[in-house]
Amino acid sequence: MDNKFNITVKNCDLYYGDFQALKNINIDIDEREVTAFIGPSGCGKSTFIKTFNRMNDLIEDCRITGEIKIGGENIYAKGTDVTLLRKNIGMVFQKPNPFPMSIYDNVAFAPRTFGIKKKTELDAIVERSLKQAGLWGEVKDRLRKNAMGLSGGQQQRLCIARALAAEPKILLMDEPTSALDPISTGKIEELINELKVDYTIVIVTHNMQQATRISDKTAFFLLGEIIEYAKTGELFSNPKDKRAENYITGRFG
Amino acid sequence: MSIRAKYEKELQGIFDSLVLMCRHIEAAIEKCVKALTDCDFELARDVFEEEKQIDEMERSIEQACFKILLMETPVARDFREVSAALKMITDLERIGDQARDIAEIAIQFKDEGYIKKLTDITKMAVIVIQMVKDGVQAYINRDLELARSLDATDDKVDGLFNKVMADCIELVKKDPDNAEQAVMLLMINKYLERIGDHAVNIGEWVEFALTGSHPKKIK
């Protein structure tokens, strides 16, 4: 993988056994931009986002055809180092999922996995990552406390810090704020806006206003297909496809 | 009631109010020109009342639009329609002001007889009233063709405007004593021409609501 972290997908089909979950997906996702995936439940957004770090590998019966390139390299090619791929592509889920260990150990987990042992080095990574995630001020005096004691919003920012500690290039976020209150949501949206300077961000969201606030481009999914993909302002003010318009205006979905 | 049905009902409320506002505007233009032709000062005063009503309607439609934007956060065509309504009522309110301006001038004329016939001014009034009606109807019926036709109709208004102006210049040249009336008639002429322009703006907002982009000016 070279230094570019754009995502290019060509003719991607994905099957769970006999069921086709993604149908001929073609999309170019630019680096250092926020791309939002919207669409009704079960339309394939989450399935698709997981193809970028090969999380579908873990699902039995899951079969993918077509081409997914990150920085120009086919990530499904034989010999792809999946661990390295997942280091480069961080993921944050809907429900905050800190490990049942200290705040410090959560953030230090990935760097330790990749062989960093020196305390000063780890300290620096932990501080930097927590600062990037906007959590440092709130936890700097209790880094050794268990992460499970944090509030939901703090736990989610911890998960973002944990993802950032691996120094990824791409951040995948699957409904990262749907379980959070408006203040925590606001903090995470602000964070996404700051992070896009350095990272390529792909976010699945059910919150249309969130997509309009934070994303540069939006893709509308329906029944496993991308129906419309456009600049966010364009898609929400003047969608070209009737189905996209009907969905975002609440006529169905 | 589903969210969607609630939204449709609120939007219908705005449509109804726009029709009502449009009726007051028609009455205001009709009355101010009739006040002029018939030297009817009472009718001119009626226009002031109409104009107040128009201002109030602008406020109430504005509030209804703000409420929809706040509560429903509409997107796509819904968003464009509410935004267009918000912009259109500014043009409609200005039209009300111009009718009032004409009425104010009408009051200043005494029973002295006019230096020229008011046929062209009356013609202009008839055309601009129809233009305002068409603009509002195009919005409510989502009629792109009607909205686009306003620009061509406005050319007729501009033609009459130029004619009245030329007549007034000629009358002043002939007899400088005509100057006072000529200036007043010219102002009325200009107000009516502006009303036509506002109606064209309304048509452009309708086009924006329906297509997502403003018409390109070729002129």
pLDDT tens string A36-86: 999 999 999 999 999 999 999 889 999 999 999 999 999 999 999 999 999
Q: Do A237 and B76 touch (CB under 8 A)?
A: yes
Mean pLDDT computed over A236-245 = 95
Q: Is the ipTM of this complex over 0.85?
A: no
* pLDDT attached to residue B73: 87
Contact A209 B4 (CB under 8 A): no
Does a structural domain hold residue B11? yes
Residue B80 touches partner A, C-beta closer than 8 Å:
yes
The pLDDT tens digits of the residues spanning B94-147 come to 999 999 999 999 998 877 788 889 999 999 999 999 999 999 999 999 999 999
What is the average per-residue pLDDT within B170-181?
A: 93
Total domains in the fold of chain B: 1
Question: Is the CATH number of domain A7-96+169-248 3.40.50.300?
Answer: yes
Confidence of residue A1 (pLDDT cuts 50, 70, 90): very low
Q: Is the pLDDT of residue A91 over 60?
A: yes
> Residue B29 is encoded by which pair of tokens?
């233009």
Task: Report the DSSP beta bridge partners of residue A231.
Answer: A217
Q: What share of chain A is helix, strand, coil (3-state, %, to 5)?
A: 40, 25, 35
Residue B123: predicted pLDDT: 97
- Per CB-CB distance under 8 Å, the chain A contacts of B212 are 237-238
Contact B73 A209 (CB under 8 A): yes
Q: What is the pLDDT of residue A47?
A: 95
Whole-structure pTM value: 0.83
Beta-carbon contacts of B63 under 8 Å, excluding residues fewer than 6 positions away, are none
Q: How far is A206 from chain B (nearest CA, A)?
A: 15
pLDDT of A3 reads 62
In a domain? residue B217: no
**d(CA B204, nearest CA chain A) in Å:** 16
Mutate one of B72, B73, B75, B211 to test the A interface: name it (highest A CB count within 10 A).
B75
The dihedral through the CA atoms of A215, A218, A224, A226 has a sign that is negative
Round to whole Å and give the CA distance between B196 and B125: 9
Per-residue pLDDT reduced to its tens digit, B192-204: 999 999 999 999 9
pLDDT of residue A205: 95
Span B182-188, mean pLDDT? 96
Q: With an 8 Å Cβ cutoff, is B73 touching chain A?
A: yes
In the Cβ-directed half-sphere of A36, how many Cα atoms lie within 13 Å?
A: 28
Residue of B nearest to A209 (CA): B73
Q: Which of A209, A212, A249 sits opposite B78 (nearest CB)?
A: A249
Min Cα separation A245/chain B (Å): 6
Position A184 scores a pLDDT of 87
Mean pLDDT value across residues A5-18: 96
> Strand A217-222's sheet: what is its strand order?
A89-92, A170-174, A200-204, A34-38, A217-222, A225-231
Report the CATH number at residue B97.
1.20.58.220
% pLDDT > 90, chain B: 85
Inter-chain contact A248–B212, Cβ cutoff 8 Å? no
Percent of chain A with pLDDT over 90: 90
Please report whether residue B130 resides in a domain. yes
Q: What is the pLDDT of residue B1?
A: 55
Cβ of A236 and B4 within 8 Å?
no
Domain that holds residue B203: 3-211
**Contact yes or no for A237 and B80 at CB 8 A:** yes
Residue range A158-180: mean pLDDT, rounded? 94
At CA B65, angle to CA B62 and CA B70, rounded to 5? 125
The answer to whether the CB atoms of B75 and A238 lie below 8 A apart is no
Please report the pLDDT score of residue B4 as a whole number: 80
Give the pLDDT band (50/70/90) at residue A10: very high
- Rounded to a whole number, what is the distance in Å from the CA of A209 to chain B's nearest CA? 8
Question: Could you tell me the pLDDT band of residue B2, with boundaries at 50, 70 and 90?
Answer: low
Whether B93 maps to a domain, the answer reads: yes
Is the pLDDT assigned to residue B218 strictly greater than 70?
A: no
The H-or-E segment that residue B11 falls in is helix B3-38
Determine, yes or no, domain membership for B218: no
Structure confidence by residue, pLDDT tens digits, A190-227: 999 999 999 999 999 999 999 999 999 999 999 999 99
Of A54, A89, A96, A46, which is closest to residue A199 (Cα–Cα)?
Answer: A89
Domain range summary for chain A, segments of one domain joined by +: 7-96+169-248
Assigned domain for B216 exists: no
Q: How many CB atoms lie within 10 A of CB B194?
A: 18
* Residue of chain B with shortest Cα separation from A207: B73
